[in-house]
Chain A
């Protein structure tokens, strides 16, 4: 039990920062550049850890609560989630609701921390973040519902259990395909990726997530970057398990399949970011509503 928990946490904490590195490298290759080293996010985290703080005089404790909650929430959410075929350390009926609402907690504090600075840029980011997630959250819920309907259980462990390969083969294949697309969109929105958000340019008025963290510095900013990497890995795990649902029976192979899947996912995100432009802001809600409808459609497909 303890060993299992430790392995889960070690994989999460050590592997997560690699994913942004892979995305950056993929984008650089597409642009014909060499790109930063794959391990650059680890170096960034180390560098930020050693730095001091610059704090705005306007801010209060809420400003610091943002990074703290933003780091803790993906960590806790990961404990509820199976990593590929490796089972979740904590699991109970109905933990999928907790999974969704934990991210709501993180969003509350990230947006509140942004508003705490009194900057109109960060206020803009906060308003956009909470508005768009209104549309992303039902989609995530519907996608999880499709899986619940197929598995008959209500914990993430059973939702992403061993029945998935058979489900792909059975009549539920199209529905699973649809929610795979929906979950990918949710992943892009929640992790502020192109085409919904641009993680690279800090000063554009089109920003959502990056503009919310403008005023953070030093270790607090490191916590935010680390939290974002963990969140990418946690939400990515949903997709990877759904797309590569095999159980080999030996934990090391399972782990390798899972980690390989995550790397592929990171490359895929990098490709999407390279070949697509950012959507106009007013198009984002339309795309998200469309995705919600697709997820409802997937739900109707599995109703028997």
Chain B
């Protein structure tokens, strides 16, 4: 049943995409077809997800002409977790995108864009349900290609082209490792079907380690795991906002799905795999959030925060592997529950924040925080929604971010109190580092809200900004209500995760998890809401009754304050990056300082490129390129020489096969 519902959703998406492609230059029609199809497809899609989450796996089989391939879809509890996120976020992004691209639709054909949009949604749904290695690799490629074309939407801009190429490159380097992973796994299991991969559980430790590392690097590249995240801060800002929301909200999570799926096949993980995952996770979280604090570009800041959140999810996964290896089922279940819930939560609030960022971009025409300011007065609804999203992502009660981080903390604390000696040290340190990440996230989002929405407008565009239409706001409002709902009813959200946890966590863990007092944070969230509303009503009542004077902001006696004197994005983070962060992460400041007694006007500018990209990958690939230049002499440009190459290769392969047959 679940698999048939999924098939129906996929067919609707396909039809919508083709209709959009046929609509071609009639952009409004293309938008309506594709967005409508995504909305309609979400209904059977959500049905499939919820059925999957109830635990009974459903499969669908068909023949496929590709040699070694077979169309095999399977919806189980793990697929359900990710399907739910996909089919919640995708229709909202489509609805938003249709309104968001309206102005551009007059100038250019949107058919292609919408074709790839529905293609991406379908490919993601297929990735999390494909149950055959070749099919998985095919739809994985499809997902990468569709998202590449979506990122390259504004391909007339050089920076967008650069970002899109970087993304394509990263996808394929990761993808190459996945080919190796699945071919090796298929060879070991003797079949390419996922249901036979349980035979990998008998693989010897060295092979298992190789498979694990291949999966970690291959899927980690897609997920934006540190230090393979380099495509992410370039691609997210380059894409249109509804695409950024979809990519950041759910597409990067397919990497996490892949790793989880592979881990269900491998033999029981040794403790150090868990520590590796948790260590990379917390490093990525700290790195991402520290760099988010120095970005001027609103969407780049959000992209770095995605790296942080992916890091937190990996921390949860690592924690659960570590606990499982040490025989602590409750801790393993808490880590896993926190990670899976964070997958959902991040899809909700990061979707909301990217859509909100798109709203600000729409209203002001810029992504530069320094050219915003005072937008809450001009866009009261968008502003309030963005503040709500920021509260959710900094994980403060009563919103959903707190619930998943609370579960992770609880898991870490379980480990810290129950383990003894050196084994307790990793969870203990991780608690402090997670607290540091949380405090830095607060800095980042206070800065984002304060510099973009509050204060005075710092550019003419910000002065005249005005609210977008209802179809821009409605998706964001729905996402924020979902964030609040999970915060107020954490037990219900965790109840949905019962079957995936039973699938992934060690036996006995689910029962232990039921004993977790989830009512605590839930009831405190209600109490907090009630108290805040009471105090707010009190203040509003007093403001009605008491005399009120409106005036200028107190400038400490200075009579002529100007907008340029208010805090800028760089200024707000200056203390943090100069006094707290390591020098490697500091942004490069260019331009001369004013000198002499009567200084001339000088310009200072700050650039915050990614240190891993600039210091590690670019020199590495530049070096590789230089080495490869030496092989240029192979390219003679004469057909005879190339024929000789083909002959030699053929002969070598023949000899190899003869030798292999003879030896085997």
Q: Which residues of A contact B (CB under 8 A)?
A: 51-60, 62, 64-65, 67-69, 71-72, 75-76, 90, 92-95, 97-98, 100-102, 104-105, 107-108, 111-112, 114-121, 123-124, 126-128, 130-131, 133-138, 140-142, 145, 148-149, 152-154, 203, 214-215, 218-220, 223, 282, 285, 292, 295-296, 299-300, 303-304
Contact partner of A58 (CB less than 8 A), chosen from B374, B414, B436, is B374
What are 11 A-B contacts with C-beta separation under 8 Å? A53-B542, A55-B551, A58-B553, A104-B395, A107-B446, A123-B572, A127-B573, A130-B439, A131-B580, A134-B440, A145-B413
Query: A-facing mask of B424-452, CB < 8 A → 1, else 0?
Result: 11001101110110111011011101110
Contact partner of A62 (CB less than 8 A), chosen from B387, B439, B440, is B387
User: In the assembled complex, which residues on chain B have CB atoms less than 8 Å from the CB atom of A92?
Assistant: 517, 519-520
Task: Report the bound CA distance from A137 to B547 in whole Å.
Answer: 40
- What number of residue pairs across chains A and B have CB atoms under 8 A from each other? 271
User: In the assembled complex, which residues on chain B have CB atoms less than 8 Å from the CB atom of A295?
Assistant: 432
| Listed stretches B120-128, B196-204, B223-231, B527-535; interface member | B527-535
User: In the assembled complex, which residues on chain B have CB atoms less than 8 Å from the CB atom of A107?
Assistant: 442, 446
Contacting A at CB under 8 A, from B337-372, are none
Given A119-B561, A148-B413, A154-B417, A60-B520 contact (CB < 8 Å)? no
Is B410 interfacial (CB 8 A cutoff)? Answer: yes
User: In the assembled complex, which residues on chain A have CB atoms less than 8 Å from the CB atom of B442?
Assistant: 104, 107-108, 130, 133-134
User: In the assembled complex, which residues on chain A have CB atoms less than 8 Å from the CB atom of B626?
Assistant: none
Task: Report the bound CA distance from A215 to B455 in whole Å.
Answer: 13
Task: Report the bound CA distance from A117 to B556 in whole Å.
Answer: 13
Q: In the complex the two chains form, is B410's CB within 8 Å of A154's CB? A: yes
Given A92-B517, A145-B428, A68-B396 contact (CB < 8 Å)? no
Expressed in whole angstroms, the minimum distance between the Cβ of A122 and any Cβ of chain B is 8
Q: In the complex the two chains form, is B416's CB within 8 Å of A53's CB? A: no
Contacting A at CB under 8 A, from B365-417, are 373-374, 376-377, 380, 383, 387, 390-391, 394-397, 402, 405-406, 409-410, 413-414, 416-417
Q: Chain B binding site: helix, strand, loop or mixed by DSSP?
A: helix
Is B575 interfacial (CB 8 A cutoff)? Answer: yes
Q: In the complex the two chains form, is A115's CB within 8 Å of B454's CB? A: yes
Task: Report the bound CA distance from A300 to B428 in whole Å.
Answer: 9
A-B pairs, 8 with minimum CB distance: A123-B567, A115-B450, A92-B520, A52-B547, A118-B455, A105-B396, A134-B439, A118-B456
Q: In the complex the two chains form, is B556's CB within 8 Å of A121's CB? A: yes
User: In the assembled complex, which residues on chain A have CB atoms less than 8 Å from the CB atom of B107?
Assistant: none
Is B539 interfacial (CB 8 A cutoff)? Answer: yes
Contact partner of A67 (CB less than 8 A), chosen from B413, B445, B446, B539, is B539
Task: Report the bound CA distance from A142 to B359 in whole Å.
Answer: 40
Given A94-B409, A115-B451, A223-B535, A126-B456 contact (CB < 8 Å)? no
Task: Report the bound CA distance from A51 to B546 in whole Å.
Answer: 7
Q: In the complex the two chains form, is B439's CB within 8 Å of A133's CB? A: yes
Contacting A at CB under 8 A, from B528-561, are 528, 531-532, 535-536, 539-540, 542-543, 546-556, 561
Query: A-facing mask of B498-537, CB < 8 A → 1, else 0?
Result: 0000000000000000001101110010011001100110
Q: In the complex the two chains form, is B432's CB within 8 Å of A141's CB? A: yes
Contact partner of A64 (CB less than 8 A), chosen from B536, B554, B572, is B536
User: In the assembled complex, which residues on chain B have CB atoms less than 8 Å from the CB atom of A131?
Assistant: 443, 575-576, 579-580
Q: In the complex the two chains form, is A138's CB within 8 Å of B424's CB? A: no
Q: In the complex the two chains form, is B539's CB within 8 Å of A137's CB? A: no
Given A124-B567, A220-B539, A285-B580, A69-B532 contact (CB < 8 Å)? yes
Closest B residue by C-beta to A150: B417
Closest A residue by C-beta to B425: A303
Contacting A at CB under 8 A, from B468-489, are none
User: In the assembled complex, which residues on chain A have CB atoms less than 8 Å from the CB atom of B580?
Assistant: 131, 134-135, 285
User: In the assembled complex, which residues on chain B have CB atoms less than 8 Å from the CB atom of A152?
Assistant: 417
Q: In the complex the two chains form, is A97's CB within 8 Å of B406's CB? A: yes
User: In the assembled complex, which residues on chain B have CB atoms less than 8 Å from the CB atom of A135?
Assistant: 436, 439, 580
Q: In the complex the two chains form, is B450's CB within 8 Å of A126's CB? A: yes
Q: In the complex the two chains form, is B394's CB within 8 Å of A93's CB? A: no
- Give the residue among A64, A145, A282 with the most B Cβ atoms within 10 A: A145
User: In the assembled complex, which residues on chain A have CB atoms less than 8 Å from the CB atom of B524?
Assistant: 76, 90, 95, 98
Q: In the complex the two chains form, is A55's CB within 8 Å of B550's CB? A: yes
User: In the assembled complex, which residues on chain B have CB atoms less than 8 Å from the CB atom of A303?
Assistant: 420-422, 424-425, 428
Given A115-B455, A117-B455, A55-B549 contact (CB < 8 Å)? yes
Query: A-facing mask of B568-593, CB < 8 A → 1, else 0?
Result: 00011111100110000000000000
Contact partner of B548 (CB less than 8 A), chosen from A53, A62, A145, is A53
Given A76-B531, A118-B454, A127-B571, A149-B439 contact (CB < 8 Å)? no
- Give the residue among A54, A59, A127, A128 with the most B Cβ atoms within 10 A: A127
Q: In the complex the two chains form, is A148's CB within 8 Å of B416's CB? A: yes
Q: In the complex the two chains form, is A68's CB within 8 Å of B536's CB? A: yes
Is B631 interfacial (CB 8 A cutoff)? Answer: no
Task: Report the bound CA distance from A304 to B424 in whole Å.
Answer: 9
User: In the assembled complex, which residues on chain A have CB atoms less than 8 Å from the CB atom of B428?
Assistant: 142, 145, 149, 299, 303
Expressed in whole angstroms, the minimum distance between the Cβ of B393 and any Cβ of chain A is 11
User: In the assembled complex, which residues on chain A have CB atoms less than 8 Å from the CB atom of B573?
Assistant: 127
Task: Report the bound CA distance from A194 to B383 in whole Å.
Answer: 36
Q: In the complex the two chains form, is B439's CB within 8 Å of A104's CB? A: yes
Closest B residue by C-beta to A105: B396
Q: In the complex the two chains form, is A98's CB within 8 Å of B394's CB? A: no
Q: In the complex the two chains form, is A52's CB within 8 Å of B548's CB? A: yes
User: In the assembled complex, which residues on chain B have CB atoms less than 8 Å from the CB atom of A138?
Assistant: 432-433, 435-436, 439
Task: Report the bound CA distance from A295 to B431 in whole Å.
Answer: 13
Q: In the complex the two chains form, is A120's CB within 8 Å of B536's CB? A: no
User: In the assembled complex, which residues on chain A have CB atoms less than 8 Å from the CB atom of B417?
Assistant: 148-149, 152-154
Is B565 interfacial (CB 8 A cutoff)? Answer: yes
Q: In the complex the two chains form, is A56's CB within 8 Å of B551's CB? A: yes
Is B657 interfacial (CB 8 A cutoff)? Answer: no
User: In the assembled complex, which residues on chain B have CB atoms less than 8 Å from the CB atom of A145?
Assistant: 413, 416, 428, 431-432
Task: Report the bound CA distance from A124 to B571 in whole Å.
Answer: 9
User: In the assembled complex, which residues on chain B have CB atoms less than 8 Å from the CB atom of A101?
Assistant: 395-397, 402, 405-406, 438
User: In the assembled complex, which residues on chain B have CB atoms less than 8 Å from the CB atom of A54?
Assistant: 548-551
User: In the assembled complex, which residues on chain A have CB atoms less than 8 Å from the CB atom of B520?
Assistant: 92-95, 98
Task: Report the bound CA distance from A112 to B443 in whole Å.
Answer: 10
Task: Report the bound CA distance from A295 to B429 in whole Å.
Answer: 11
Contacting A at CB under 8 A, from B207-255, are none
Task: Report the bound CA distance from A300 to B432 in whole Å.
Answer: 13
Given A57-B550, A115-B446, A119-B553, A304-B420 contact (CB < 8 Å)? yes
Given A94-B520, A115-B567, A218-B546, A134-B432 contact (CB < 8 Å)? no
Contact partner of B575 (CB less than 8 A), chosen from A111, A127, A149, A218, is A127
Task: Report the bound CA distance from A240 to B402 in whole Å.
Answer: 29
Is B649 interfacial (CB 8 A cutoff)? Answer: no
Task: Report the bound CA distance from A152 to B414 in whole Å.
Answer: 9
Closest B residue by C-beta to A59: B553
User: In the assembled complex, which residues on chain B have CB atoms less than 8 Å from the CB atom of A108?
Assistant: 390-391, 394, 396, 442, 445-446
- Give the residue among B421, B556, B565 with the most A Cβ atoms within 10 A: B556
Given A107-B442, A223-B539, A123-B566 contact (CB < 8 Å)? yes
User: In the assembled complex, which residues on chain A have CB atoms less than 8 Å from the CB atom of B395?
Assistant: 101, 104
Q: In the complex the two chains form, is B377's CB within 8 Å of A127's CB? A: no
Closest A residue by C-beta to B458: A118
**Additional A-B contacts beyond A118-B456, A135-B580 (18; CB < 8 A):** A51-B546, A54-B550, A58-B377, A60-B376, A68-B535, A92-B517, A97-B409, A114-B450, A115-B449, A115-B451, A115-B567, A127-B575, A130-B446, A134-B436, A134-B442, A134-B443, A219-B542, A296-B429
User: In the assembled complex, which residues on chain A have CB atoms less than 8 Å from the CB atom of B439?
Assistant: 104, 130, 133-138
Q: In the complex the two chains form, is A102's CB within 8 Å of B454's CB? A: no
